[in-house]
Amino acid sequence: MNTNDFEERLRRQSMRPIPRQWRGEILDAARRASSQPPILSPQPTAWWREWLWPCPQAWAGLAAVWLVVFLLNWAARDPVHVATASKAAPAELFLALKELRRLLAELIGTPTTLELRKPFEPRPRSEVPHPAVSIEFA
């Protein structure tokens, strides 16, 4: 049966009135339902119980896993080696660094004086010198 056929058949049918007794019964039931307070639960429960209700075992298992992770993390901590800021002056640090470099140079066998490096100068990227570039095409 096609949907158009169904709609045509529906249009041809006449609407029958609802019996009077049904109307009264329906309205009485609606009035009774609206006058009674809604029954949610016999005992009030906390909001968190309602939230966890779908699967409390899964939530309890997840909480246990997080507790184990937290305890393992806490147990693995090394409380003795906590980094603290040094209160030495910058000049003292510079002298200590200079002394460490001198000792390292002695161990390796290189001269102790620090040579200054030349600053980086970029080189041309082609074989043709830059100032005298003049190319003519025939």
Structure confidence by residue, pLDDT tens digits, 51-96? 777 788 888 899 999 999 999 998 888 766 555 555 667 888 888 8
In whole angstroms, give the CA distance from residue 135 to residue 102.
55
Q: What is the identity of the amino acid at 119?
A: P
pLDDT in tens, 101-128: 888 888 888 765 555 567 778 877 766 5
User: Residues 83, 89, 90, CA angle at the centre, nearest 5°?
Assistant: 95
When computed from its CA atoms, the radius of gyration of the chain, rounded to whole angstroms, is: 45
Domain ranges of the chain: 3-35
pLDDT of residue 113: 58
Q: What is the 3-state secondary structure (H, E, C) of 15-84?
A: CCCCCHHHHHHHHHHHHHHHHCCCCCCCCCCCHHHHHHCCCHHHHHHHHHHHHHHHHHHHHHCCCCCCCC
For the entire predicted model, the pTM comes to 0.27
Q: pLDDT category, 99, cuts 50, 70, 90?
A: very high
